[in-house]
Amino acid sequence: MMDAAILASVLATVIAAATPLLFAALGELVTEKSGVLNLGVEGMMLVGAVTAFAIAVVTGNLHVGVLGGALAGALMALLFGVLTLTLMANQVACGLALTIFGIGLSALLGDSFVGIPLDGLPELDIAGLTDIPMLGTVLFSHDLLVYLGIAMVPLTALFLTRTRWGLVLRAVGENHEAAHGLGYSVIPIRYAAVAFGGAMAGIGGAYLSVAYTPMWVEEMTAGRGWIALALVVFAAWRPWRLLLGAYLFGGVSILQLYAQGGALFDVPSQVLAMLPYLATIVVLTVLSSRGVRALLAAPACLGKPFHAA
Amino acid sequence: MSVAAAAPPRLKLRGITKRFPGTLANDAVDLVVRPGEIHALLGENGAGKSTLVKIVYGLLAADAGEIRWDGKPVSIQSPNAARALGIAMVFQHFSLFDALTVAENVALGLPGSRSVEALAPVIREVGDAYGLALDPERPVHTLSVGERQRIEVVRALLQEPRLLVMDEPTSVLTPQEVERLFETLRRLRDAGVSILYISHKLDEIRELCDRATILRRGRVVATADPRAETAATLGALMVGGTIGGAAHHAGPASAAVRLEARALTLPAMSPTGTGLTGVSFAVRAGEILGIAGVAGNGQGELLAALGGEVATQPADALLLDGVPIGALDVRRRRALGLAYVPEERVGHGSVGELPLTDNVLLSGLRARVMGALGMLDRGATRRYAAEVVARFQVATTGIQAIARSLSGGNLQKFLIGRELMQGPKVLVCGQPTWGVDAGAAAAVHQALFDLANQGAALVIVSQDLDELFLLADRIAVLNRGRLSAPRPAGELDAEAVGLLMGGVHGETHDVAA
């Protein structure tokens, strides 16, 4: 019985650990579906995290903080959009620059907020459900953002596959010349997708600073933005597979924490800390070795600049 | 007909002018398309046909001129505006989305809010009515080129257009597919739809079209009834002079086999490609082997395997003068005398951003321009490039022009010239005159004949049947990665080859689900 309770709380922490990955990766998935590769997820998450924390501390309202984080992420993404979509700069270089910029900007903004305590986002007490043994702990002991993150999966999937706007967005990412030829506005559509990706990354960062570990520490995302990027490839640009991947990576990062604490293995803690990132590399290598099939999953115009002739 | 003549023209262009940097693409073009007629827009590549229809479809804005629709002046600012008037367009390079389904592709081409699900039965209905069978659920990348074009046509028809613009629609179709397309177009005309049909294929225009407007270098040079003209008179109007037919070469003696493929097998190189299965043939010195087939049946793989872009197992599946070359890369094959002109002129055949002087280096490095101590001899490169430009009459601003700045035909003359001047024993060439105007095509053909007459063996992969019948001594057909047994061109006609190209399959997929 004791073991079951431990297992339940471990699973609950996996779901929590997966949430920032889920937000950031879903946003990047939509961005990439429109044909834009934004490698600045880590930077957008950090700026989202520090903005959400600062606003939450100043206003005392956590939800306003999260909204502020989303807005900050979107603004970062729009900066990227201006560079790559309007000025047609190289997407890879700008994405890397956005991350480095985000690291610096978040450190600057967060300087006076280091060490300030904050009561994190409360767990929702859902009448009856939370008290179910095991299941209640695993599924119904979370805060609002966890549920929102999960809800975004079917919403994103429905948007992409069932709505006209989703269809147009995929078309733009698949063949921007043809989409332009049919009269769709490629650049505005990409701006919208990029801004959505930024907002989602911002919420992912906000979850870290106001819910997961309610505090501000420099570079507190610790590479989660990069894992989110890998997750999109892992998921072959499919939202439901992305949910699975987020839990898998969330699980690996929790396993790593328990392994360090419980000294399960006789290996240096640094090696265990590497686990999620090693898993990322392994997954990407295995996926890219599938060759032809993986090519079909990627949006055909991913990373290619578009200028109307 | 008298009623139609009395009504205002469906489309009337007056004085349409469009200037691009360096060229006048359209120079005061007048064009009248009446209701219920199939009107040909005829001209060589670069004559300004595509520019003109892009203006009509709202993709380009004219610098000057007037467009009248049903007698009223209109301004067509965007494709949406064109569609709102009732203009639909089937593009030369299909505007399709490979990863999406047929229904999704159709939905994207239609304005408004019809859902993808609701479109599926409509697509089947239109398909039945016009003989354009399509499965709405299938992803586009699994379809043949002919089926892809059907999507474009169905998409255009669902807009219930009053003017249908078709830009070189038959360049990728089998003869049987062309015949079906023509039936569809005639039925549309009989229903009162006007069709603006762009082509440089004279026989097609004489068979299909009611009137023809002929463009040359951006200007209208004539309006004619194509049925009252011969292919020769139309051709003369189009190029402004008679086209010198290439002299046929002597044909193969009982010469030695230069290039042989023995059960060549290769997996597909891209998600949309087709692998090769047991491809066998032998080409003798002085012989031209033509390989026909609809695009996507393994042509890319075959060219890559012959040219050396991919190695093949086992090494003796390919023999050059009896030497196994399957394991050798492009450079080593070149050293043995195998020249290769890839299908993609920019990207494979040349580096678009580099000047011609650097592009001759790509294949001529060893043969022509290596100087002392392994340093480049820049003088030799310039002489080489200048020689190619002079001998093959490449129209360019100079040997320092970048490859991408040349028109398709001129770049092709340059690429073939670059290979020919190295005196190859075997030449493998993909689509020698794709997108090349008639004058340049004749020059390319003559150069190929000359090479064969000098004792080289040639393998020509082309989708243009007329070209293969003109060039080849023997013709084989590539279908789904398998090559039919080569047969003397004299024993074949277009219909027989067409049946091999797609007759049994590639036709219809079972649409009833």
Instruction: Outline where DSSP puts E strands in B161-227.
Output: 163-167, 194-199, 211-216, 219-224
How confident is the prediction for chain B on average, in pLDDT? 83
Average pLDDT on A200-213 reads: 96
The answer to whether the beta carbons of residues B454 and B460 sit under 8 Å apart is no
A2 touches chain B (CB under 8 A): no
Site of tokens 């177009």: B185
Where does A2-297 sit in CATH, by number?
Answer: 1.10.3470
Nearest to A246, CA basis, from A134, A153, A120, A135: A153
Residue B147 CA to residue B134 CA, distance in Å, equals 7
Which comes out higher in pLDDT, residue A263 or B426?
B426
Percentage with pLDDT > 70 across chain A: 93
- A-B CB pairs within 8 A amount to 57
Partners of A166 on chain B (C-beta within 8 Å) are: none
| Opening angle at CA A235, ends A233 and A237, nearest 5 | 75
Nearest Cβ partner of B108 from A167, A296, A300?
A167
Range picked from A124-138, A255-269, B126-140, B185-199 for highest mean pLDDT: B185-199
The residues near A162 (Cβ < 8 Å, ≥ 6 apart) are none
Mean pLDDT of chain A: 89
B-contacting residues in A 275-294 (Cβ below 8 Å): 292-293
Distance from the Cα of A166 to chain B's closest Cα (Å) equals 11
* Domains of chain A, residue spans: 2-297
pLDDT at B4: 47
C-beta separation of B20 from B48 below 8 A? no
Q: What is the distance in angstroms between the Cα of B457 and the nearest Cα belonging to chain A?
A: 34
Domain range list for chain B: 2-239, 245-337+425-432+452-508, 345-422
Q: Is the distance from CB of A179 to CB of A172 less than 8 angstroms?
A: yes
Q: Confirm if B467 and B432 have CB atoms less than 8 A apart.
A: yes
Q: Quick one: which of B24, B205, B168 has its CA closest to B90?
A: B168
Q: What is the pLDDT of residues B16-36, one digit of tens each?
A: 999 876 678 899 999 999 999
Q: Give the residue-averaged pLDDT of B28-56.
A: 88
Higher pLDDT, residue A97 or B369: A97
B98 contacts in A (CB within 8 Å)? 174-175, 300
Instruction: Work out the minimum CA distance from B78 to partner chain A, whole angstroms.
Output: 7
pLDDT tens figures, A267-292: 777 777 787 788 778 877 776 666 55
User: What CATH number belongs to B245-337+425-432+452-508?
Assistant: 3.40.50.300
Query: Which of A178, A184, A295 lies at the smallest CB-CB distance from B96?
Result: A178
Q: Which CATH superfamily is domain B2-239 in?
A: P-loop containing nucleotide triphosphate hydrolases (3.40.50.300)
pLDDT in tens, A208-238: 999 999 999 999 999 999 999 989 988 889 9
Rounded (5°) CA angle B89-B97-B513 = 95
Q: Does B77 touch chain A (CB under 8 A)?
A: no
Is A181's CB within 8 Å of B79's CB? yes
- The number of helix segments (H) and strand segments (E) in chain A equals 14, 0
Radius of gyration of chain A (CA): 19
**Considering CB atoms only, which of B78, B100, B271 is closest to A171?**
B100
d(CA A170, CA A161): 9
Q: What is the 3-state secondary structure (H, E, C) of B399-441?
A: CCCEHHHCCHHHHHHHHHHHHHCCCCCEEEEECCCCCCCHHHH
Q: Look at the alpha carbons of B210, B214, B220, B223 in this order and tell me if their dihedral is positive or negative.
A: negative
Q: Does the pLDDT of residue B476 top 70, yes or no?
A: yes
Do residues A39 and A223 make contact, with C-beta atoms less than 8 angstroms apart? no
List the alpha helices (DSSP H) in B459-508. 465-471, 494-498
Q: Which residues of B touch A293 (CB under 8 A)?
A: 271
Helix, strand, or coil (residue A231): helix
Which amino acid, A235?
A
Average pLDDT over residues A148-166: 94
Element of type H or E holding B474: strand B474-479
Q: What is the ipTM of this complex?
A: 0.82
